Amino acid sequence: MDTKRIVRRGAVVLFALMTAGALVTGLPAAEAAPPRDSGFAFPFAGAPAFVHLAPTEAGPGRLNQPLGLAAADAVAAGIGLGRGDVMSDRQYRAFVTGGGVGGSRAAAKEIDACVAILTNTVGRPLISRSDTGPTRSVLASYGVYVTTNGLLQSPANASAPTRKVNTLIAPGGYVGDWLRANGATRTLIALYRSAYTVEALYGFAAQQMSGAAQLVTNTANGTTSTVGMSMAPPLWLVNFALLYVMKPSLAAAMPAHWAPIPPAVARAIKASPTGQVPYSAYQRYFR
């Protein structure tokens, strides 16, 4: 087996609010209809075979709660990953510090920002600047986050590290080169063989359809609500897979449930040409 060829074909994408380089027309026709109870339409529901593994709507007391390690292991098994596919501790430490063969501290800093955004759950607040001083925010279940400059936006916003990281993960880019050079080829192959691959196709299609706001509509039991792109099943599962193979505890820190963005906030983000609004003006709407 030509593992180098598999890795390059896989075009493994890290922290995917990403480009998969695939056309929506390449999705299997049999997978075009999402499960009735998902609330998400095609392609935002992702592959029907895996949507049950994605977060459900948050109930009382579950807002912004992390998934937890036991649940993370179960989700990983459901998408075809296991502890044997994870980077070694040594590889992980080198990767996140910009060390190892061909390492870059600047790239590691960008990756660290991606992890912080995707794991903005209880106990892992983001800190932003405001006129009144530092502001702590925990908003992962909503699929939005606050930038260091105090702007509220989707993690799929064009300005977000989780989008800008695409230059690092492009074929022939930093991430693939680093993993191959540092003995993590098995991790790349595992991702390519997992549900990550098909979910990346749906995620790419969903992102291309969502404009500057990068928000998603959910309709269930006669109620329509809005959530950020990172909580749509395919994007959540792709991001989960990538964090899991870095370090399972990172995937365990992702939000276990999604929550509707307050309607006034969703309207404002959609109306903004940049998909951004000042958090200070809308903070009161969040629980």
Tell me: the pLDDT tens digits for 45-55? 999 999 999 99
**pTM (predicted TM-score):** 0.87
CA-CA-CA-CA torsion sign (172, 77, 31, 46): negative
Residue 6, pLDDT above cutoff 50: no
* Range from 104-118, 130-144, 249-263 carrying the lowest mean pLDDT: 130-144
Task: Round to whole Å and give the CA distance between 81 and 83.
Answer: 7
Q: What is the mean pLDDT of the chain?
A: 87
Residue 235, pLDDT above cutoff 60: yes
The reply to whether 203 falls in a domain is yes
The reply to whether 25 falls in a domain is no
* Range from 74-78, 109-113, 172-176 carrying the lowest mean pLDDT: 172-176
The reply to whether 204 falls in a domain is yes
Contact criterion met (CB below 8 Å) for 52 and 237: no
Contact criterion met (CB below 8 Å) for 216 and 206: yes
Domain that holds residue 104: 36-285
* Residue 60 confidence (pLDDT): 84
The reply to whether 10 falls in a domain is no
What confidence category does residue 1 fall into, taking pLDDT thresholds of 50, 70 and 90? very low
* Residue 9 confidence (pLDDT): 39
What confidence category does residue 278 fall into, taking pLDDT thresholds of 50, 70 and 90? very high
Average of per-residue pLDDT across 206-226: 94
* Residue 170 confidence (pLDDT): 60
Average of per-residue pLDDT across 4-28: 38
The reply to whether 3 falls in a domain is no
* Residue 171 confidence (pLDDT): 63
The reply to whether 207 falls in a domain is yes
Contact criterion met (CB below 8 Å) for 255 and 233: no
* Range from 139-148, 160-169, 231-240 carrying the lowest mean pLDDT: 160-169
Per DSSP bridges, beta strands 56-57 and 257-258 are parallel
Residue closest to 229 by CA, chosen among 270, 182, 184, 271: 270
Which residues are CB-neighbours of 25 under 8 A, at least 6 positions away? none
Count CA atoms within 13 Å of residue 91 on its CB side. Answer: 18
What confidence category does residue 17 fall into, taking pLDDT thresholds of 50, 70 and 90? very low
Residue 169, pLDDT above cutoff 80: no
Q: Give me 131's structure tokens.
A: 């006129």
Question: ω into residue 43 within 30 of 0, thus cis?
Answer: yes
Between the alpha carbon of residue 51 and those of residues 35, 93, 157, 189, 221, the distances in Å are 8, 32, 23, 23, 18
Residue 7, pLDDT above cutoff 90: no
The reply to whether 83 falls in a domain is yes
Task: Round to whole Å and give the CA distance between 87 and 77.
Answer: 16
Between the alpha carbon of residue 44 and those of residues 32, 35, 134, the distances in Å are 11, 11, 35
Helix 105-118 to helix 233-246 angle (10° resolution) is 130
pLDDT in tens, 176-189: 788 899 999 999 88
Phi and psi (nearest 5°) for 57? -65, 140
Contact criterion met (CB below 8 Å) for 206 and 21: no
Q: What angle do CA 272, 277, 279 make, to 5 degrees?
A: 165
What confidence category does residue 24 fall into, taking pLDDT thresholds of 50, 70 and 90? very low
* Residue 138 confidence (pLDDT): 98
Domain count, the chain: 1
The reply to whether 259 falls in a domain is yes
* Residue 2 confidence (pLDDT): 40
